Amino acid sequence: MTHSKNKSLSTRVGFALAGIAHAARNERSVRTQLVVALLVLALLAWRRPEPLWWALCALAIGGVLAAEMLNTALERLADHLHPEQHPHVRIVKDCAAGGVLLASLAALVVGAALLVHLFAGRS
């Protein structure tokens, strides 16, 4: 059975939303990132910076959440295919976690620049 090939757009979006919901329910790191995203959006709504800052934050948030989703998917697949510890599986998982870390660090740079802009850069 094909999962999403040749399905309608609404069906494929439903599959994607189910994946996001699953990760949000079952992955603490995804829940943490969602809370941080909400806080950033609240800060943006409160301080109302230029649209460029909204775009930068959206890209940063989307990048981190996408990395978290891919990390979750890779970990689940690796655990399913090779449940026992294996050095190659560990490398795959470590690389996926490294991707999340890099995306998170980049998002922190965007967040720090936003804070400087909002609180130190304006009179």
Instruction: For residue 99, give both structure tokens.
Output: 């991707």
Catalytic residue selected from 27, 68, 75, 84: 68
Instruction: For residue 60, give both structure tokens.
Output: 């940063």
Q: Which residue has the tokens 């998170």?
A: 104
27 given a catalytic annotation: no
Please identify every residue annotated as catalytic: 68
